[in-house]
Amino acid sequence: MTSTYFNENGPSSMNIEPPKRVMAIGAHPDDIEFGAGGTIAKWAQQGCEAVIVIMTDGSKGTWNPEADPLELAMRRQGEARRAAGTMAPGAAVEFLGWKDGELRHGERAVAQLCHLIRHYKPDVLIAHDPWKRYRLHPDHRAAGFIATDALVAARDPHFLPELGMHHRPSALLLFEADEANHLETIGELALRAKVEALLCHRSQHESSMEISDAGNLEEVARFRQTVRDAAERNGGADGAEFAEAFHLISEV
């Protein structure tokens, strides 16, 4: 069975070697869980350390016009920490503090992230695919370009030498890929960790998960099934049970 996500040849690679340390970079507090939560959980179960970098404060992530942005940002930090711990117990979480909707691809953001890459020295980076076509949300686009530029800056000794010793990760995995070419298969346990991590983002239940109330078990069950179905469709492309799809760049 061929997934609609890949071309007729299906994915060209599957399952890179589990890294010792992964750094995932998302625009908003729940993006990483949606895009790569199962992969991070799988690697964490194999002893990988995770660093979760969230670029904006998520303060506009609500349909409620009366919501207080500062209160929402604080609430979302707590949710993000719980979600990170659910995916990868002991994960480090870094908040870069850009205002939601106002993340800009520029020197300041690239330097912030370059500094974190050199500090944590991850083997693998996970980020938004900045080349995804027809993407509307500016933060997702910006976060992707900031991550790719920061990777280049971090690996080359003559870029930003004041920000520490250069470091070159061995692979970059882009989620929400415009053209996926790689699968990470995930088992039942990692899939469950992904769903539980997503559900930690209670402030997003209504707007991104179609859950009107956490007590509405039917809606929660429907959301679990939606995530499961998506992972099953990706897995079907290569006969695995569940998987997440990426664009892998291994020449970094």
Give the pair of three-digit tokens for residue 137. Answer: 């949300």
Cβ closest to Zn ion, residue 85 vs residue 101: 101
Q: How far is the CB of 34 from Zn ion (least distance, A)?
A: 8
Q: How far is the CB of 142 from Zn ion (least distance, A)?
A: 11
How many residues bind Zn ion (CB under 5 A)? The answer is 3
Q: How far is the CB of 204 from Zn ion (least distance, A)?
A: 9
Give the pair of three-digit tokens for residue 124. Answer: 């693998």
Query: Which residue number is nearest to Zn ion in terms of Cβ?
Result: 28
Cβ closest to Zn ion, residue 32 vs residue 114: 32
Using DSSP bridges, classify how beta strands 21-26 and 124-128 pair: parallel, antiparallel or unpaired.
parallel
Q: Mask 224-243, x = binds Zn ion (CB under 5 A)?
A: --------------------
Q: Is residue 128 within the footprint of Zn ion (CB under 5 A)? A: no
Give the pair of three-digit tokens for residue 237. Answer: 């492309």
E strand or H helix at 243, and its extent?
Answer: strand 242-249
Tell me the CB-side half-sphere exposure of residue 183, using CA atoms within 13 A: 24
Q: How far is the CB of 71 from Zn ion (least distance, A)?
A: 19
Cβ closest to Zn ion, residue 19 vs residue 144: 144
Q: How far is the CB of 238 from Zn ion (least distance, A)?
A: 27
Q: Is residue 100 within the footprint of Zn ion (CB under 5 A)? A: no
Q: Name the maximum alpha-carbon separation found in the chain.
A: 55
Cβ closest to Zn ion, residue 31 vs residue 49: 31
3-state secondary structure (DSSP) of residue 24: strand
Beta partners for 98? Answer: 56
Question: Taking the CB of residue 69, how many other CB atoms lie within 10 A of it?
Answer: 15
What distances in angstroms separate CA 128 from CA 132, 175, 218, one per listed residue? Answer: 9, 5, 31
E strand or H helix at 226, and its extent?
Answer: helix 217-236
The DSSP letter of residue 55 is E
Which residues in 15-74 contact Zn ion (CB under 5 A)?
27-28, 31
Cβ closest to Zn ion, residue 48 vs residue 146: 146
Q: How far is the CB of 27 from Zn ion (least distance, A)?
A: 5
Cβ closest to Zn ion, residue 67 vs residue 252: 67
Could you identify the residue written with the tokens 């993000």? 80
Q: Is residue 141 within the footprint of Zn ion (CB under 5 A)? A: no
- Applying CB under 5 A, which residues contact Zn ion? 27-28, 31
